[in-house]
Amino acid sequence: MPTYTYVSDDGDNKPIRLAAATATAGSFSQGATDDADFVKVSKGNREFGQRPRGLTLSRNLGSDDEPNLRYKFLPMATQAAFNAASIGSTITVGGVSWTVIGKRAEDN
């Protein structure tokens, strides 16, 4: 996976590995970083490191009568991109439309 730049809440540029479609949807770019420690998208609560801010997304693969929901976490590159997203809005990731159902702040 390619490496992109994540701008933390304290202004540091940190490296993060993402699929290209996820990076595009999350407003990421490739560039220089200030830190060698990677941001961990799937970090557990007992692990050291930084978990990025991001959006919880959902989409329904079934019908209204029998929903078949799928969920995805989309990291956001900057605080501005995170603030611009609103719950209930639609975001396209890799050509697939997802609905924003939640927002998660950065966790150190």
Residues 76-98, mean pLDDT to the nearest whole number: 94
| Integer CA distances (angstroms), 108 to 5, 21, 55, 105, in order | 17, 25, 17, 10
Give percent of the chain above pLDDT 70: 100
pTM confidence score: 0.87
Mean pLDDT for all residues in the chain: 90
User: Could you list the residue range(s) of the whole structural domain that residue 70 is in?
Assistant: 3-42+50-104
- Report the number of distinct structural domains present in the chain: 1
**d(Cα 39, Cα 21) in Å, to the nearest integer?**
18
Q: In this predicted structure, what is the pLDDT of residue 42? A: 81
User: What's the burial of 104, exposed, middle or buried (CB within 10 Å: 0-12/13-18/19+)?
Assistant: middle
Q: How confident is the model at residue 32 (pLDDT cuts 50, 70, 90)?
A: confident
Of residues 41 and 76, more confidently modeled = 76
